Amino acid sequence: MMYSEKVIDHFSNPRNVGEIPDADGVGEVGNAKCGDIMKMYLKIVDDVIIDVKFRTFGCGAAVATSSIATEMILGKTVDEALQLTNKAVADALGGLPPVKMHCSLLAEEAVKAAILDYKKRRGLFIDDSLAVCEGCCDACYHKQDDEEVHEE
C-alpha cells in the first residue's frame, strides 16, 4: 500500500490535534469494521470556524484525513465547511489507496457531525444534508425513523 508524501507528512506531523474545552460543536464518528474513531471540535464566531481540533484513534490514513480536514475548514464559514467532501479530503492528500477511502469519508462526517451539534445547540434549522452515518461498513447504513436505508 503506497501513501503520498502528504499523507505521510500529516500522519507524522498532524495539525490541529487536541480538544477545545468550550467548543461550539463537537462531532464523533466511527467505523465499526476497522475501529477508526474521529472526534472533531469547532469554535465558531459570527458563523466562521475560528478554531478546529481533532482526536483520532485509528490508522495513519485516519489521522492524516482528520488533520487535512481541519486545515481545509479553518477560517471557513459553516456553510463553506459543509461543502467538504471525502473526495476533496482524499485529493488534498494526493490520493488514498482504495481500501483507505473510508477514512476520508469519516473526516467528512466528523466535520458534519460537529456542525450538526453546533446547529442543534443553537436551535438552528437543520436540513437533511447533515445526515451523519451512524456506523460505516462496506456499504453505509443510515437509521431513519427506525428503518435501515442502504446507500450504494
- Distance (Å) of CA 124 to CA 3, 63, 76, 79, 98: 40, 30, 18, 13, 36
Q: Which of 103, 133, 137, 140 is flagged as catalytic?
A: 103
| 136 is an active site residue | no
Residue 54 is placed in which grid cell?
481533532
Q: Which of 34, 136, 137, 140 is flagged as catalytic?
A: 34
Angle of the 60-73 helix axis to the 5-12 helix axis, nearest 10:
90
Element containing residue 91 per DSSP (H, E):
helix 86-92
Neighbours of 86 (CB within 10 A): 19
d(CA 130, CA 5): 32
Q: Which residues are catalytic?
A: 34, 103
